Amino acid sequence: MQIQINSENNIKIGQEHIDRFKEVISAALDRYSDQITRVEAHLSDENSNKKGPDDKRCLLEARLEGLQPVAASNIASTLELAVSGAAEKLKQSLASIKGRLRNY
């Protein structure tokens, strides 16, 4: 499973944060890693340069073999919380999709 992290120009993140975000995403989606070819994370700041609560957004898009991409997003006060929240939402979506496919 390949994980790609993308961010807006106004978000400055170092390699340490990128590695941590990849770790969080990988751990959350580990159960589905053999079926996921790629996960793209899009990080953004909803308020741009202005301060405000819950303005960091993470959109995760998982590409599954033979299926349409699945996306989940989360908005939180920090990028770390946004990434972990989106990863959990994506994990729940994948579980739901896999459950439905098993029933057919």
Report whether 32 contacts 67 (CB < 8 A): no
Rg (CA), the chain: 14
Provide the residue-wise pLDDT of the chain in tens; the chain has 104 residues.
Answer: 999 999 988 888 999 999 999 999 999 999 999 989 999 999 998 876 667 677 899 999 999 888 889 999 999 999 999 999 999 999 999 998 877 666 55
Compute φ and ψ for 47, nearest 5 degrees: -100, 10
Enter the tokens of residue 16: 């340490």
Whole-model pTM over 0.85: yes
Please give the span between the terminal C-alpha atoms of the chain, in angstroms, as a whole number: 26
